[in-house]
Copies of this chain bind each other. A is one copy, B any other.
Protein backbone atom coordinates (compact mmCIF):
# COMPACT_ATOMS: atom_id res chain seq x y z
CA UNK A 1 0.00 0.00 0.00
CA UNK A 2 1.08 3.62 -0.40
CA UNK A 3 1.67 6.16 2.32
CA UNK A 4 -1.78 7.69 1.98
CA UNK A 5 -3.47 4.36 2.48
CA UNK A 6 -1.25 3.51 5.42
CA UNK A 7 -2.24 6.83 6.95
CA UNK A 8 -5.97 6.38 6.34
CA UNK A 9 -5.83 2.87 7.80
CA UNK A 10 -3.93 4.21 10.80
CA UNK A 11 -6.58 6.84 11.43
CA UNK A 12 -9.42 4.35 11.11
CA UNK A 13 -7.64 1.86 13.35
CA UNK A 14 -7.24 4.62 15.92
CA UNK A 15 -11.00 5.12 15.92
CA UNK A 16 -11.16 8.35 13.93
CA UNK A 17 -14.51 8.27 12.15
CA UNK A 18 -15.01 11.56 10.35
CA UNK A 19 -13.00 13.66 7.93
CA UNK A 20 -14.09 17.25 7.30
CA UNK A 21 -12.53 17.95 3.95
CA UNK A 22 -11.70 20.68 1.51
CA UNK A 23 -8.97 19.05 -0.54
CA UNK A 24 -6.97 20.12 -3.55
CA UNK A 25 -4.65 18.40 -5.97
CA UNK A 26 -1.79 17.92 -3.52
CA UNK A 27 -4.13 15.79 -1.38
CA UNK A 28 -5.33 13.63 -4.26
CA UNK A 29 -3.72 10.40 -3.10
CA UNK A 30 -5.17 10.84 0.35
CA UNK A 31 -8.60 11.27 -1.27
CA UNK A 32 -8.01 8.18 -3.41
CA UNK A 33 -7.17 6.25 -0.23
CA UNK A 34 -10.32 7.53 1.49
CA UNK A 35 -12.21 6.33 -1.54
CA UNK A 36 -11.20 2.78 -0.70
CA UNK A 37 -12.34 3.24 2.91
CA UNK A 38 -15.96 4.32 3.00
CA UNK A 39 -16.03 3.56 6.73
CA UNK A 40 -14.43 6.99 7.17
CA UNK A 41 -17.20 9.54 6.73
CA UNK A 42 -16.11 12.39 4.46
CA UNK A 43 -17.94 15.66 4.94
CA UNK A 44 -17.24 18.26 2.28
CA UNK A 45 -16.97 21.89 3.36
CA UNK A 46 -16.83 24.55 0.65
CA UNK A 47 -14.44 26.67 2.70
CA UNK A 48 -11.66 25.47 4.96
CA UNK A 49 -12.89 27.41 7.99
CA UNK A 50 -16.03 25.32 7.65
CA UNK A 51 -13.95 22.18 8.03
CA UNK A 52 -12.01 23.27 11.10
CA UNK A 53 -15.04 24.86 12.74
CA UNK A 54 -16.97 21.64 12.17
CA UNK A 55 -14.13 19.65 13.69
CA UNK A 56 -14.28 22.00 16.69
CA UNK A 57 -18.01 21.38 17.20
CA UNK A 58 -17.56 17.67 16.60
CA UNK A 59 -14.77 17.38 19.15
CA UNK A 60 -16.72 19.24 21.80
CA UNK A 61 -19.75 16.97 21.42
CA UNK A 62 -18.03 13.69 20.60
CA UNK A 63 -15.20 14.15 23.05
CA UNK A 64 -12.80 12.91 20.38
CA UNK A 65 -10.80 14.28 17.51
CA UNK A 66 -11.90 14.39 13.89
CA UNK A 67 -9.59 14.75 10.92
CA UNK A 68 -9.61 17.73 8.62
CA UNK A 69 -8.17 17.53 5.14
CA UNK A 70 -6.79 20.86 3.96
CA UNK A 71 -4.97 22.14 0.93
CA UNK A 72 -1.41 23.37 1.37
CA UNK A 73 -0.47 26.81 2.74
CA UNK A 74 -3.37 29.07 1.62
CA UNK A 75 -5.93 26.35 2.37
CA UNK A 76 -4.59 26.12 5.89
CA UNK A 77 -4.76 29.93 6.01
CA UNK A 78 -8.48 29.79 5.37
CA UNK A 79 -8.73 27.23 8.17
CA UNK A 80 -6.71 29.33 10.62
CA UNK A 81 -9.42 31.37 12.39
CA UNK A 82 -11.42 28.33 13.47
CA UNK A 83 -8.23 26.49 14.40
CA UNK A 84 -7.56 29.42 16.69
CA UNK A 85 -11.04 29.01 18.18
CA UNK A 86 -10.63 25.26 18.53
CA UNK A 87 -7.25 25.72 20.20
CA UNK A 88 -8.81 28.01 22.79
CA UNK A 89 -11.64 25.51 23.28
CA UNK A 90 -9.26 22.64 23.89
CA UNK A 91 -10.79 20.72 20.99
CA UNK A 92 -8.68 17.88 19.68
CA UNK A 93 -8.14 17.83 15.93
CA UNK A 94 -5.84 16.20 13.39
CA UNK A 95 -5.23 18.41 10.38
CA UNK A 96 -3.82 16.67 7.33
CA UNK A 97 -2.37 19.43 5.19
CA UNK A 98 -1.10 18.56 1.74
CA UNK A 99 2.25 19.73 0.48
CA UNK A 100 4.22 19.51 -2.73
CA UNK A 101 6.42 16.48 -3.26
CA UNK A 102 9.64 16.95 -1.30
CA UNK A 103 11.78 17.49 -4.40
CA UNK A 104 9.29 19.98 -5.85
CA UNK A 105 9.67 22.35 -2.91
CA UNK A 106 12.90 23.82 -4.22
CA UNK A 107 10.99 25.46 -7.08
CA UNK A 108 8.85 28.58 -6.88
CA UNK A 109 5.57 27.03 -8.04
CA UNK A 110 2.41 29.10 -7.57
CA UNK A 111 1.18 27.25 -4.49
CA UNK A 112 4.51 26.96 -2.74
CA UNK A 113 4.18 28.56 0.67
CA UNK A 114 5.35 28.35 4.23
CA UNK A 115 3.27 25.36 5.36
CA UNK A 116 5.32 24.75 8.49
CA UNK A 117 5.30 28.41 9.46
CA UNK A 118 1.56 28.90 9.24
CA UNK A 119 0.87 25.61 11.01
CA UNK A 120 3.18 26.46 13.86
CA UNK A 121 1.47 29.80 14.30
CA UNK A 122 -1.63 27.99 15.60
CA UNK A 123 -1.04 24.25 16.05
CA UNK A 124 0.21 22.70 19.28
CA UNK A 125 2.07 20.12 17.22
CA UNK A 126 3.36 20.27 13.65
CA UNK A 127 5.20 17.59 11.75
CA UNK A 128 6.09 17.29 8.09
CA UNK A 129 6.41 13.70 6.94
CA UNK A 130 9.67 13.08 5.17
CA UNK A 131 9.08 9.59 3.84
CA UNK A 132 6.21 7.26 2.94
CA UNK A 133 7.60 4.62 5.27
CA UNK A 134 7.07 6.85 8.32
CA UNK A 135 3.73 8.43 7.39
CA UNK A 136 1.71 5.89 9.38
CA UNK A 137 3.80 6.53 12.49
CA UNK A 138 3.45 10.25 11.95
CA UNK A 139 -0.32 9.84 11.72
CA UNK A 140 -0.44 7.79 14.91
CA UNK A 141 1.63 10.45 16.68
CA UNK A 142 -0.74 13.14 15.42
CA UNK A 143 -3.82 11.32 16.76
CA UNK A 144 -2.14 10.72 20.10
CA UNK A 145 -1.22 14.40 20.34
CA UNK A 146 -4.76 15.48 19.32
CA UNK A 147 -6.14 13.38 22.18
CA UNK A 148 -3.69 14.56 24.80
CA UNK A 149 -4.41 17.13 27.52
CA UNK A 150 -8.13 17.02 26.74
CA UNK A 151 -7.62 18.00 23.10
CA UNK A 152 -4.83 19.61 21.08
CA UNK A 153 -4.36 20.86 17.52
CA UNK A 154 -2.07 18.44 15.68
CA UNK A 155 -1.08 19.18 12.09
CA UNK A 156 0.53 16.62 9.85
CA UNK A 157 1.98 18.01 6.64
CA UNK A 158 1.96 15.41 3.91
CA UNK A 159 4.26 15.96 0.93
CA UNK A 160 2.55 14.37 -2.05
CA UNK A 161 5.26 11.78 -2.64
CA UNK A 162 5.03 10.52 0.95
CA UNK A 163 1.38 9.78 0.08
CA UNK A 164 1.95 8.03 -3.23
CA UNK A 165 5.16 6.10 -2.51
CA UNK A 166 5.14 2.61 -1.05
CA UNK A 167 4.68 2.18 2.70
CA UNK A 168 5.55 -1.47 3.23
CA UNK A 169 5.02 -1.28 6.99
CA UNK A 170 1.30 -0.64 6.59
CA UNK A 171 -0.75 1.13 9.24
CA UNK A 172 0.59 1.96 12.69
CA UNK A 173 -0.88 1.49 16.14
CA UNK A 174 -1.89 4.66 17.95
CA UNK A 175 -0.77 4.75 21.56
CA UNK A 176 -3.08 6.07 24.25
CA UNK A 177 -2.46 9.71 25.11
CA UNK A 178 -0.43 10.39 28.25
CA UNK A 179 -2.57 10.61 31.40
CA UNK A 180 -3.85 14.10 32.22
CA UNK A 181 -1.77 15.90 34.78
CA UNK A 182 -3.20 16.24 38.29
CA UNK A 183 -2.36 18.62 41.13
CA UNK A 184 -0.29 17.32 44.02
CA UNK A 185 -2.30 16.20 47.10
CA UNK A 186 -0.73 19.03 49.10
CA UNK A 187 -2.06 21.58 46.60
CA UNK A 188 -5.53 20.07 46.82
CA UNK A 189 -5.43 20.20 50.61
CA UNK A 190 -4.24 23.81 50.51
CA UNK A 191 -7.01 24.78 48.09
CA UNK A 192 -9.57 23.07 50.31
CA UNK A 193 -8.32 25.05 53.28
CA UNK A 194 -8.65 28.28 51.33
CA UNK A 195 -12.22 27.46 50.29
CA UNK A 196 -13.15 27.07 53.96
CA UNK A 197 -12.21 30.70 54.62
CA UNK A 198 -14.68 33.58 54.18
CA UNK A 199 -14.51 35.48 50.90
CA UNK A 200 -13.32 32.47 48.92
CA UNK A 201 -14.65 31.68 45.46
CA UNK A 202 -14.38 28.51 43.43
CA UNK A 203 -14.15 29.16 39.70
CA UNK A 204 -14.80 26.07 37.60
CA UNK A 205 -14.57 25.70 33.84
CA UNK A 206 -13.60 23.39 31.02
CA UNK A 207 -14.83 19.83 31.16
CA UNK A 208 -16.38 20.31 34.61
CA UNK A 209 -19.17 22.38 33.11
CA UNK A 210 -19.71 19.96 30.26
CA UNK A 211 -20.93 17.08 32.35
CA UNK A 212 -21.89 15.69 35.70
CA UNK A 213 -18.80 16.96 37.55
CA UNK A 214 -20.45 20.36 38.01
CA UNK A 215 -22.55 18.93 40.82
CA UNK A 216 -19.36 18.46 42.83
CA UNK A 217 -18.96 22.22 42.76
CA UNK A 218 -22.47 22.63 44.16
CA UNK A 219 -21.61 20.22 46.98
CA UNK A 220 -18.45 22.16 47.81
CA UNK A 221 -20.44 25.39 47.94
CA UNK A 222 -23.02 23.79 50.18
CA UNK A 223 -20.31 22.47 52.49
CA UNK A 224 -18.08 25.55 52.71
CA UNK A 225 -20.30 28.50 51.83
CA UNK A 226 -17.76 29.63 49.25
CA UNK A 227 -18.74 31.53 46.14
CA UNK A 228 -19.09 29.73 42.82
CA UNK A 229 -18.45 31.18 39.42
CA UNK A 230 -17.96 30.15 35.81
CA UNK A 231 -15.89 31.90 33.15
CA UNK A 232 -17.68 33.79 30.39
CA UNK A 233 -16.16 31.60 27.70
CA UNK A 234 -16.94 27.92 28.21
CA UNK A 235 -16.47 25.35 25.42
CA UNK A 236 -19.47 23.24 26.44
CA UNK A 237 -21.80 23.92 29.29
CA UNK A 238 -24.66 21.83 30.62
CA UNK A 239 -27.66 24.08 31.19
CA UNK A 240 -31.38 24.11 31.81
CA UNK A 241 -33.44 21.92 34.14
CA UNK A 242 -31.30 19.64 36.28
CA UNK A 243 -28.08 21.57 35.77
CA UNK A 244 -26.07 23.35 38.45
CA UNK A 245 -26.95 27.06 38.55
CA UNK A 246 -23.87 29.18 38.44
CA UNK A 247 -22.98 32.87 38.20
CA UNK A 248 -20.59 33.62 35.41
CA UNK A 249 -18.20 36.29 34.33
CA UNK A 250 -19.36 38.68 31.59
CA UNK A 251 -17.83 40.50 28.63
CA UNK A 252 -17.51 44.16 29.78
CA UNK A 253 -14.45 44.95 31.89
CA UNK A 254 -16.20 47.17 34.44
CA UNK A 255 -18.88 44.59 35.15
CA UNK A 256 -16.24 41.91 35.67
CA UNK A 257 -14.36 44.15 38.06
CA UNK A 258 -17.59 44.63 40.02
CA UNK A 259 -18.27 40.87 40.02
CA UNK A 260 -14.88 40.13 41.57
CA UNK A 261 -14.71 43.19 43.83
CA UNK A 262 -15.15 41.34 47.13
CA UNK A 263 -13.53 38.03 46.21
CA UNK A 264 -10.45 37.72 48.38
CA UNK A 265 -9.32 34.38 47.01
CA UNK A 266 -10.28 32.54 43.86
CA UNK A 267 -9.44 28.87 43.38
CA UNK A 268 -9.29 28.02 39.68
CA UNK A 269 -10.29 24.48 38.74
CA UNK A 270 -10.52 23.77 35.02
CA UNK A 271 -10.49 27.51 34.40
CA UNK A 272 -7.78 29.93 33.35
CA UNK A 273 -7.15 33.24 35.06
CA UNK A 274 -9.93 35.73 34.20
CA UNK A 275 -8.60 38.24 31.70
CA UNK A 276 -10.23 41.19 29.99
CA UNK A 277 -11.09 40.35 26.39
CA UNK A 278 -9.36 43.49 25.17
CA UNK A 279 -7.27 46.16 26.82
CA UNK A 280 -8.79 49.64 27.04
CA UNK A 281 -7.19 52.92 28.06
CA UNK A 282 -7.35 53.20 31.85
CA UNK A 283 -9.02 49.83 32.40
CA UNK A 284 -7.35 46.80 33.96
CA UNK A 285 -6.28 43.73 31.97
CA UNK A 286 -7.15 41.61 35.01
CA UNK A 287 -10.59 42.06 36.55
CA UNK A 288 -9.60 40.60 39.93
CA UNK A 289 -9.59 42.94 42.94
CA UNK A 290 -6.20 44.42 43.84
CA UNK A 291 -4.64 42.35 46.61
CA UNK A 292 -6.78 39.30 45.94
CA UNK A 293 -5.18 35.90 45.49
CA UNK A 294 -5.71 33.53 42.58
CA UNK A 295 -4.84 29.91 43.12
CA UNK A 296 -4.35 28.10 39.79
CA UNK A 297 -5.12 24.65 41.17
CA UNK A 298 -5.88 22.99 37.87
CA UNK A 299 -5.62 24.26 34.30
CA UNK A 300 -8.23 23.18 31.73
CA UNK A 301 -5.53 20.94 30.20
CA UNK A 302 -5.25 19.00 33.46
CA UNK A 303 -7.62 16.40 34.90
CA UNK A 304 -10.14 18.92 36.18
CA UNK A 305 -13.05 16.57 36.88
CA UNK A 306 -10.82 14.31 38.97
CA UNK A 307 -9.36 17.33 40.75
CA UNK A 308 -12.77 18.67 41.67
CA UNK A 309 -13.71 15.24 42.97
CA UNK A 310 -10.56 15.12 45.09
CA UNK A 311 -11.31 18.60 46.40
CA UNK A 312 -14.88 17.59 47.32
CA UNK A 313 -13.55 14.52 49.10
CA UNK A 314 -10.95 16.54 50.97
CA UNK A 315 -13.74 18.85 52.13
CA UNK A 316 -16.14 16.03 52.93
CA UNK A 317 -18.65 17.55 50.52
CA UNK A 318 -20.58 14.39 49.85
CA UNK A 319 -24.20 15.27 49.23
CA UNK A 320 -26.13 17.51 46.92
CA UNK A 321 -28.59 19.48 49.02
CA UNK A 322 -32.22 19.50 47.91
CA UNK A 323 -33.20 22.43 45.71
CA UNK A 324 -29.69 22.95 44.37
CA UNK A 325 -30.36 22.07 40.77
CA UNK A 326 -32.09 24.28 38.25
CA UNK A 327 -35.85 23.69 38.03
CA UNK A 328 -37.75 23.49 34.75
CA UNK A 329 -39.52 26.81 34.28
CA UNK A 330 -40.64 27.73 30.78
CA UNK A 331 -41.68 31.26 29.87
CA UNK A 332 -44.82 32.27 28.01
CA UNK A 333 -44.54 32.62 24.28
CA UNK A 334 -43.82 36.20 23.25
CA UNK A 335 -45.97 38.38 21.01
CA UNK A 336 -45.33 41.46 18.88
CA UNK A 337 -42.18 42.77 17.22
CA UNK A 338 -39.17 40.54 17.82
CA UNK A 339 -36.39 41.62 20.16
CA UNK A 340 -33.43 39.60 21.43
CA UNK A 341 -35.34 39.10 24.71
CA UNK A 342 -38.34 37.72 22.86
CA UNK A 343 -36.21 35.43 20.74
CA UNK A 344 -34.78 34.17 24.02
CA UNK A 345 -38.25 33.59 25.48
CA UNK A 346 -39.51 31.81 22.37
CA UNK A 347 -36.43 29.63 22.26
CA UNK A 348 -36.64 28.87 25.99
CA UNK A 349 -40.27 27.83 25.64
CA UNK A 350 -39.71 25.60 22.62
CA UNK A 351 -36.19 24.23 22.98
CA UNK A 352 -36.42 20.44 22.82
CA UNK A 353 -34.80 18.25 25.44
CA UNK A 354 -31.09 17.60 24.81
CA UNK A 355 -30.76 20.35 22.24
CA UNK A 356 -27.28 21.64 21.49
CA UNK A 357 -27.15 25.43 21.34
CA UNK A 358 -24.20 26.92 19.45
CA UNK A 359 -23.93 30.56 20.35
CA UNK A 360 -22.20 33.33 18.44
CA UNK A 361 -24.96 35.86 18.64
CA UNK A 362 -22.57 38.41 20.17
CA UNK A 363 -24.70 41.37 21.31
CA UNK A 364 -27.92 39.30 21.43
CA UNK A 365 -26.31 36.47 23.37
CA UNK A 366 -26.88 37.72 26.90
CA UNK A 367 -30.64 37.92 26.39
CA UNK A 368 -30.99 34.40 25.02
CA UNK A 369 -28.62 33.07 27.67
CA UNK A 370 -30.68 34.56 30.48
CA UNK A 371 -33.99 33.38 29.03
CA UNK A 372 -32.91 29.76 28.60
CA UNK A 373 -31.53 29.26 32.10
CA UNK A 374 -34.54 27.18 33.17
CA UNK A 375 -35.34 25.65 29.80
CA UNK A 376 -35.28 21.92 29.10
CA UNK A 377 -31.84 20.34 29.59
CA UNK A 378 -29.40 21.36 26.87
CA UNK A 379 -25.74 21.93 26.09
CA UNK A 380 -24.37 25.35 25.19
CA UNK A 381 -21.30 25.80 22.97
CA UNK A 382 -19.64 29.18 22.64
CA UNK A 383 -17.03 30.51 20.23
CA UNK A 384 -13.92 30.36 22.39
CA UNK A 385 -11.24 32.36 20.64
CA UNK A 386 -13.16 35.49 19.75
CA UNK A 387 -12.78 34.81 16.03
CA UNK A 388 -16.31 35.19 14.74
CA UNK A 389 -17.36 32.72 12.07
CA UNK A 390 -17.31 29.58 14.21
CA UNK A 391 -21.06 29.20 14.74
CA UNK A 392 -22.38 27.70 11.51
CA UNK A 393 -19.40 25.34 11.08
CA UNK A 394 -19.51 24.27 14.72
CA UNK A 395 -23.23 23.62 14.46
CA UNK A 396 -22.59 21.40 11.44
CA UNK A 397 -19.89 19.48 13.30
CA UNK A 398 -22.01 19.07 16.44
CA UNK A 399 -24.84 17.71 14.29
CA UNK A 400 -22.49 15.19 12.67
CA UNK A 401 -21.37 14.11 16.15
CA UNK A 402 -24.89 13.86 17.59
CA UNK A 403 -27.37 12.90 14.87
CA UNK A 404 -30.10 12.25 17.44
CA UNK A 405 -30.07 15.73 18.91
CA UNK A 406 -31.40 19.03 17.60
CA UNK A 407 -28.74 21.69 17.09
CA UNK A 408 -29.68 25.35 17.37
CA UNK A 409 -27.22 27.84 15.89
CA UNK A 410 -27.54 31.41 17.15
CA UNK A 411 -25.48 33.82 15.11
CA UNK A 412 -25.13 37.48 14.36
CA UNK A 413 -25.41 38.43 10.71
CA UNK A 414 -21.90 39.86 10.71
CA UNK A 415 -20.54 36.65 12.27
CA UNK A 416 -22.41 34.31 9.96
CA UNK A 417 -21.00 36.00 6.85
CA UNK A 418 -17.49 34.70 7.56
CA UNK A 419 -18.45 31.07 7.05
CA UNK A 420 -21.91 31.05 5.45
CA UNK A 421 -20.75 28.21 3.18
CA UNK A 422 -21.47 25.85 6.08
CA UNK A 423 -25.15 26.18 5.26
CA UNK A 424 -24.48 24.09 2.16
CA UNK A 425 -22.80 21.37 4.23
CA UNK A 426 -25.88 21.29 6.47
CA UNK A 427 -28.06 20.77 3.40
CA UNK A 428 -25.74 18.21 1.80
CA UNK A 429 -25.54 16.11 4.99
CA UNK A 430 -29.19 16.72 6.02
CA UNK A 431 -27.93 17.98 9.36
CA UNK A 432 -30.50 18.68 12.00
CA UNK A 433 -29.70 22.33 12.58
CA UNK A 434 -32.05 25.23 13.18
CA UNK A 435 -30.18 28.48 12.49
CA UNK A 436 -31.35 31.79 13.92
CA UNK A 437 -29.64 34.81 12.33
CA UNK A 438 -29.89 37.98 14.40
CA UNK A 439 -29.83 40.40 11.49
CA UNK A 440 -29.17 43.72 13.18
CA UNK A 441 -27.44 44.73 9.97
CA UNK A 442 -24.27 45.90 11.65
CA UNK A 443 -21.24 44.85 13.60
CA UNK A 444 -23.21 46.21 16.55
CA UNK A 445 -20.53 45.35 19.06
CA UNK A 446 -18.12 47.62 17.20
CA UNK A 447 -20.51 50.54 17.61
CA UNK A 448 -20.39 49.83 21.34
CA UNK A 449 -16.61 49.52 21.27
CA UNK A 450 -16.23 52.81 19.40
CA UNK A 451 -18.12 54.46 22.25
CA UNK A 452 -15.74 52.71 24.66
CA UNK A 453 -12.79 54.49 23.06
CA UNK A 454 -14.46 57.86 23.49
CA UNK A 455 -15.99 58.65 20.10
CA UNK A 456 -19.63 59.39 20.77
CA UNK A 457 -20.96 58.66 17.29
CA UNK A 458 -19.65 56.94 14.20
CA UNK A 459 -18.68 59.31 11.39
CA UNK A 460 -18.71 58.52 7.70
CA UNK A 461 -15.78 56.11 7.59
CA UNK A 462 -16.71 54.31 10.80
CA UNK A 463 -20.31 53.94 9.71
CA UNK A 464 -19.08 52.57 6.39
CA UNK A 465 -17.20 49.79 8.14
CA UNK A 466 -19.62 49.02 10.99
CA UNK A 467 -22.94 48.88 9.17
CA UNK A 468 -24.12 46.07 6.91
CA UNK A 469 -26.88 48.06 5.29
CA UNK A 470 -27.08 49.42 1.77
CA UNK A 471 -27.71 46.78 0.62
CA UNK A 472 -29.16 44.69 3.44
CA UNK A 473 -28.22 41.04 3.38
CA UNK A 474 -31.17 38.82 2.56
CA UNK A 475 -30.67 35.71 4.67
CA UNK A 476 -33.65 33.90 3.22
CA UNK A 477 -32.09 34.19 -0.23
CA UNK A 478 -28.61 33.31 1.05
CA UNK A 479 -29.98 30.17 2.70
CA UNK A 480 -31.94 29.23 -0.42
CA UNK A 481 -28.79 29.69 -2.49
CA UNK A 482 -27.09 27.10 -0.30
CA UNK A 483 -30.06 24.72 -0.46
CA UNK A 484 -31.45 25.49 3.00
CA UNK A 485 -35.08 26.46 3.54
CA UNK A 486 -35.55 29.70 5.40
CA UNK A 487 -38.07 32.26 6.59
CA UNK A 488 -38.00 35.82 7.82
CA UNK A 489 -39.70 36.48 11.14
CA UNK A 490 -40.25 40.10 12.11
CA UNK A 491 -43.06 39.34 14.54
CA UNK A 492 -42.93 36.98 17.49
CA UNK A 493 -45.91 35.01 16.18
CA UNK A 494 -44.03 34.29 12.96
CA UNK A 495 -40.91 33.46 14.96
CA UNK A 496 -42.80 30.97 17.12
CA UNK A 497 -44.26 29.29 14.04
CA UNK A 498 -40.82 29.20 12.42
CA UNK A 499 -39.18 27.78 15.55
CA UNK A 500 -41.89 25.13 15.81
CA UNK A 501 -41.02 24.07 12.31
CA UNK A 502 -37.24 24.42 12.64
CA UNK A 503 -37.10 22.64 16.00
CA UNK A 504 -39.78 20.11 15.22
CA UNK A 505 -38.83 18.89 11.76
CA UNK A 506 -35.56 17.25 10.81
CA UNK A 507 -32.95 18.81 8.53
CA UNK A 508 -31.56 22.33 8.33
CA UNK A 509 -33.77 25.40 8.53
CA UNK A 510 -32.91 29.09 8.89
CA UNK A 511 -34.82 31.91 10.55
CA UNK A 512 -33.84 35.54 10.03
CA UNK A 513 -34.92 37.88 12.82
CA UNK A 514 -34.40 41.65 12.46
CA UNK A 515 -32.93 42.37 15.86
Contacts and interface: CB of A to CB of B under 8 A. Distances in A.
A74 B118 CA distance: 12
A276 to B, nearest CB: 7
A290 interface: no
B23 A107 contact: no
Nearest to A471: B483
Interface in A438-468: 445-446, 449-450, 452-455, 458-462, 464-466, 468
Given A74-B385, A78-B418, A80-B80, A28 B449 contact: yes
A111 B101 CA distance: 35
Interface in A128-150: none
A79 B424 CA distance: 22
A94 interface: no
Interface string A469-484: 0111111111111110
Interface stretch (A44-52, A216-224, A236-244): A44-52
Contact of A279 (B77, B83, B85, B101): B101
A111 B81 contact: no
A386 B415 CA distance: 27
A324 interface: no
A385 B110 contact: yes
Interface string A312-348: 0000000000000000000000000000000000000
B276 A104 contact: yes
Interface string A265-298: 0000000110111110100011000000000000
Contacts of A197: none
A475 B481 contact: yes
Contacts of A47: 417-418
Contacts of A43: 464
A46 B474 contact: no
A204 B79 CA distance: 36
A100 B278 contact: yes
Q: How many chain copies does the complex carry? A: 2
Interface string A38-80: 1010111011010000000000000000000100011111111
A490 to B, nearest CB: 17
A24 to B, nearest CB: 7
Contacts of A465: 21-23, 31, 34, 42, 44, 69
Given A78-B49, A108-B273, A461-B42, A279 B28 contact: no
A478 to B, nearest CB: 3
A38 B460 contact: yes
Interface of A: 21-26, 28-29, 31-32, 34-38, 40, 42-44, 46-47, 49, 69, 73-85, 88, 100-101, 103-104, 107-111, 113-114, 117-118, 120-122, 160-161, 164, 233, 272-273, 275-279, 281, 285-286, 384-387, 389, 414, 417-418, 420-421, 424, 427-428, 445-446, 449-450, 452-455, 458-462, 464-466, 468, 470-483
10 contacts: A23-B446, A31-B465, A32-B453, A42-B465, A44-B464, A78-B418, A104-B285, A109-B277, A118-B118, A473-B482
Given A77-B79, A88-B110, 12 more contacts: A22-B465, A25-B277, A32-B450, A32-B454, A35-B461, A44-B464, A77-B387, A104-B276, A109-B275, A164-B453, A474-B482, A478-B481
